[in-house]
Structure 1
Amino acid sequence: MKLLRFGPQGQEKPGVIDADGRIRDLSGVIPDIDGAALSDDSLARLRALDLTALHLAPEGVRYGACVGKVGKFLCIGLNYADHAEESGLPIPEEPVLFSKATSCIVGPNDTVLKPRGSTKLDWEVELGIVIGKDAAYVSEEEAEACIAGYCTINDVSERAFQTERGGTWDKGKGCDTFGPIGPWLVTRDEVPDPTDLHMWLKVNGKTFQDGSTATMIFKPAFIVHYVSQFMSLQPGDVISTGTPPGVGLGQKPEPLYLNAGDVMELGIAGLGEQRQVVAQA
């Protein structure tokens, strides 16, 4: 299934994509696409629905973030061997873990705001994991069943804030609008191999990232297992799993960063596409 949230910001309704690619309104069935809706039992009930009996959403409706009420928004850094090489950094022996503020989450096509004082605004197309079951100290074998599905994420980053402002990466990762998620949450049964998905990102029509989840160092099930050794994961938590080469920071002969008016387009095979225009905060 492709689950989503649609409507004005702050008033999103739950929805599902039908066999014809149209949005069907689930608000009479569940209150939201959030942790409570992502259990195996809940997803089984949604799969059994006759979607043709559900109302169609209006044409051209806004997509919200495909997960609501996200408790934790976690990220894995330097998780692609070719991106680590591009960055001139060694391949990590363990996953590099950091957080994005949940207040940065927006819809897949919402405006991205360049923060005040920003000089190094960057892009990162990433595979997102959405948790569907409580996970604490799970094994790698158990972790697969804790994943409800996958989605496309743009891990928007401000590199000067991230690395030049006195410490943790979080300052450059959690600014408002730095977390476009969606358009859909694709349930794991429809993603047979999340480690072999083409992913791409363009800026102003030029392709900068053209990679594959095949070059991930730490795979999704291992990531869920690993993170669960440090903190419990709950349904609706989101983990962004790293980016392939081609970020602005890695451009040669010198880095290239985003400015107001620039347009990002990105996508992952089977998980949908995003488009954001950059504006000054």
Structure 2
Amino acid sequence: MKIATYLHNQQERVGVVVDDHIYDLAGALQASGQGDPAMADTTIRLLAAGEAGLGAAQEAVAWVQEHGAGELALPLDQVRLRAPIPCPGKLLCLAGNYAEHIQEGGGTFVGKEKMIPRFFMKPCTTVIGTGDAIRIPPSTAFADWELELAVVIGKPGRDLTPEEAAGHIAGYTIFNDISARELTFRQTLPQQEGDRFFDWLVGKWLDTFGPMGPWLTTADEIARPDRLGMRLWLNGELQQDASTGQMIFSPAEAIAFISQFVTLQPGDVISTGTPAGVGHAKKLRLQPGDRIRGEIQGLGVLENPVEAL
């Protein structure tokens, strides 16, 4: 099932995407009697309803398709897709989870047995949907892309094993961890001890620097999340071409590690790091007027224009 958040007639709704149409989920639940329509107020609320909620959603859409309630289905091109989870409770991202990306940045891959998953948070003001503009502010001297597989948590968990963590994954979506590699104030201000790390961190936090979408694909539709092709194009030129199988730490391993420190909740998003092919290694930066397109096998297309703020 593909769960989307969308805007129609200036109202934000949750829907289920089937082929080239999107079904209003609250309306489908109401019409079919399969469940409380309020369950579909937000994607997070739907996920919090657990497997029963997702099952009710699937049954409701099937009922609408069978009974021909056409007013509950809209062509995708008549709605504006937002990020599937416009404001996650926690948006956690892995750094350095592909060996070749570590190496292209000048680092050394020391071997998984000597590493831990490194993770950081991005505020939900970074999150935008497919089609929304990435806006580069004057504070950014070098903006870059990072195509990533993002995992969406489906039920609460703490201190999980990797085996347990796999059962807490509700689904997957595409994430682009846009990053300010260079900040303009650093051109005139010398670095002090610790500045390099905090400059890197601040560069992850900028508004619109977290495209996500186009929708959430539930875990039952992705049989092998460790074998997904992932590609990114800048203005039609291929920049990243890799597989999720190249990750150092699997999504389940990352979730288990993170759950030692924070309680994970339905709708939390964990983005699992980027492969090689980022712009900084090629001295190629995002510029106003650019268009960036990311695809991950089975998850759709995430495409965003770039503008100056």
Fold-level similarity (TM above 0.5) = yes
Which residue matches 1:56? 73
Q: Mark the runs of 5 or more structure 2 residues left unpaired by the alignment.
A: 30-38
Q: Which has the higher helix share?
A: 2
Instruction: Note the 1:103-122 alignment, pairs <5 A.
Output: 103-122=125-144
Which residue matches 1:81? 99
- Mapped to 1, the partners of 2:183 and 2:26 lie a distance apart of 40
Kindly provide the CA deviation profile for residues 171-190 of structure 1, in whole angstroms up to 9, marking residues without a partner as x.
11121111111111010111
Kindly provide the CA deviation profile for residues 9-52 of structure 1, in whole angstroms up to 9, marking residues without a partner as x.
9842101012x332111132333343221122211211222241
Instruction: Give the stretch that moved more between structures: 140-149 or 83-92.
Output: 83-92
- Mapped to 2, the partners of 1:32 and 1:90 lie a distance apart of 46
Aligned length: 277
What TM-score do you get using the length of structure 1 for normalisation?
Answer: 0.93
Structure 1 residue 188 corresponds to structure 2 residue 211: no
Match of 1:271 among 299, 303, 306: 299
Give 1 or 2 for the bigger CA radius of gyration: 2
Q: Mark the runs of 5 or more structure 1 residues left unpaired by the alignment.
A: none
CA contact (8 A) 1:34 1:70 kept: no
- Mapped to 2, the partners of 1:7 and 1:129 lie a distance apart of 23
Residue 56 (structure 1) shift? 1.1
**CA RMSD between the two structures:** 2.0
Which residue matches 1:149? 171
What TM-score do you get using the length of structure 2 for normalisation?
Answer: 0.85
CA contact (8 A) 2:86 2:124 kept: no
Q: Which has the higher strand share?
A: 2
Which amino acid letter does the alignment assign opposite residue 275 of structure 1? E
SS of aligned partner of 1:183: strand
Which amino acid letter does the alignment assign opposite residue 227 of structure 2? D
Match of 2:235 among 182, 201, 204: 204
Instruction: Name segments (4+ residues, structure 1) moved above 6 Å.
Output: none
Residue 83 (structure 1) shift? 1.1
- Mapped to 1, the partners of 2:269 and 2:209 lie a distance apart of 14
- Mapped to 2, the partners of 1:258 and 1:266 lie a distance apart of 14
